[in-house]
Amino acid sequence: MRHLTADYIFTASSEPIKNGVITVDSTGTIVDVQPQGESINAEYFKGIICPGFINTHCHLELSHFKGEISEKAGMMGFIKELLSKRPHFSSEKIQQGIEDAESEMKKNGIVAVGDISNDNSSFLQKSKENLKYHTFLECFDLDASRADAEFFKAQSLKHELTNLCSKGSEVRSSIVPHAPYTVSEKLFSLIKSEALRNNSILSIHNQESAAENEFFESHTGLMFEAFSRMGVNMNDFPKSEMNSLRTIFARLPLSQKILFVHNTFTSANDIEWANSAISDLYWCTCPNANLYIENRLPDYNIFLKDNVKVTVGTDSLASNWSLSILDELKTITRHFPHIPLETLIVWATKNGAEFLGFKELGTIEKGKKPGLNLLKNLDGLKITPGTIVERII
The yes-or-no answer to whether 1-51+363-393 and 53-361 have a common fold is: no
Model confidence at 168: pLDDT above 60: no
**For the chain, domain boundaries:** 1-51+363-393, 53-361
Q: Rounded to 5 degrees, what are φ and ψ at 342?
A: -60, -40
Q: Which residue has the higher pLDDT, 328 or 276?
A: 328
pLDDT tens, position by position, 4-13: 999 999 999 9
Question: Which of the four pLDDT bands, split at 50, 70 and 90, describes residue 49?
Answer: very high
H helices of the chain, where? 74-85, 91-107, 123-127, 147-165, 185-198, 210-218, 222-229, 244-247, 268-277, 287-293, 300-305, 325-335, 341-348, 350-356
Domain 53-361: CATH superfamily is: Metal-dependent hydrolases (3.20.20.140)
Closest CA to 310 of 12, 37, 33: 12
Model confidence at 75: pLDDT above 70: yes
Whole-number pLDDT of residue 171: 85
**In this structure, are residues 56 and 356 in contact, taking their beta carbons and an 8 Å threshold?**
yes
CA distance 263 to 324: 19
pLDDT tens, position by position, 275-288: 998 989 999 999 99
Backbone CA torsion sign across 330, 332, 334, 338:
negative
Q: Rounded to 5 degrees, what are φ and ψ at 221?
A: 95, 175
Whole-number pLDDT of residue 38: 59
3-state SS class at 88: helix
Question: Which of the four pLDDT bands, split at 50, 70 and 90, describes residue 167?
Answer: low
Question: Which of the four pLDDT bands, split at 50, 70 and 90, describes residue 41?
Answer: confident
**In this structure, are residues 204 and 182 in contact, taking their beta carbons and an 8 Å threshold?**
no
Question: Which of the four pLDDT bands, split at 50, 70 and 90, describes residue 145?
Answer: very high
Burial of 146 (0-12, 13-18, 19+ CB in 10 A): middle
CA distance 213 to 60: 27
Whole-number pLDDT of residue 306: 77
**In this structure, are residues 94 and 317 in contact, taking their beta carbons and an 8 Å threshold?**
no
Strands 30-34 and 53-58: unpaired
Whole-number pLDDT of residue 90: 95
pLDDT tens, position by position, 117-128: 999 999 999 999
Segment 35-39 mean pLDDT:
69
Segment 160-175 mean pLDDT:
84
**In this structure, are residues 204 and 179 in contact, taking their beta carbons and an 8 Å threshold?**
yes
CATH number of 1-51+363-393: 2.30.40.10
CA distances in angstroms from 28 to 24, 371, 393, listed in the order given: 6, 7, 6
pLDDT tens, position by position, 311-326: 999 999 999 999 999 9
Question: DSSP assignment of 268-333, as one string?
Answer: HHHHHHHHHH-SSEEEEE-HHHHHHHTS----HHHHHHTT-EEEE----TTS-S---HHHHHHHHH
Return the minimum-mean-pLDDT range out of 59-73, 96-110, 237-251: 237-251
Question: Which of the four pLDDT bands, split at 50, 70 and 90, describes residue 227?
Answer: confident
- Apex 25 CA angle, 21 and 30, nearest 5: 55
Crossing angle (nearest 10°) for helices 325-335 and 341-348: 140
CA distance 150 to 144: 10
**In this structure, are residues 362 and 42 in contact, taking their beta carbons and an 8 Å threshold?**
no
Q: Rounded to 5 degrees, what are φ and ψ at 359?
A: -70, -25
Backbone CA torsion sign across 179, 180, 182, 183:
positive
